[in-house]
Structure formats: C-alpha cells, structure tokens
Amino acid sequence: MGRRLATAVHVQHPTSREWIVLEPGDEPDEELAAEIINPDAWEDDEPASDTEEPEPEEPTQFGFTAPPQPEPGPGADPTPPAPSRRKKTTDAAE
C-alpha cells in the first residue's frame, strides 16, 4: 500500500509531461510520488486513532478571564473591603 495524500497537489507526469491533479486521499504510484517533494502534502504514517493522549487535568481557559487566585493560608489576614464612596449632599435649602 502506497502513501496517501493529505492535500490536493498538481504534479507533472515524469514521462508524458502532462499536468495531473491528485486529490486528498489518493495513493499515487511511485513515479508520481517521487515528483511530490513537499512533505506536508502527505498524510502522517502513524494512525492517530491508536495513540491515546491523556486529557489535561484542568480545562484551558480562553478569553479575558483572570487567572485563579491562590487561596489564603490559615492565619492570613483577609483583605479589607474598599471603602464605599460618599454621596454628595445637595443643598436644597438655599
């Protein structure tokens, strides 16, 4: 079984010199395969379904989220809340 193409390629036949379009999934014969020099045009030799990758323990955070804050240890003083703003009084008695 020959190698399979991952992408479409245009290749010139080595003997007839005519241009041929090969589609993804095609398995060209050795003459045509020798003309395809881009390694990214070929599918990976190793099947990806046989290898199992461990899942990450924590999900990856996307977007504009703040990084998780460490929990304070025992005996740590909590940060006091920010003081509230005072409202400006209006002088309605003038």
pLDDT of residue 78: 65
C-alpha to C-alpha distance for 56 and 67, rounded to whole angstroms: 17
pLDDT at 19 > cutoff 90: yes
C-alpha to C-alpha distance for 59 and 56, rounded to whole angstroms: 7
Residue pLDDT, tens place only, 35-46: 999 999 999 875
Average pLDDT, the chain: 77
pLDDT at 17 > cutoff 70: yes
C-alpha to C-alpha distance for 24 and 26, rounded to whole angstroms: 6
68 phi and psi, to 5 degrees? Answer: -65, 140
Q: What is the mean pLDDT of residues 13-23?
A: 92
**Band of pLDDT at residue 61, cut at 50, 70 and 90:** low
Instruction: Please identify which residue in the block is written with the tokens 């010199």.
Output: 17
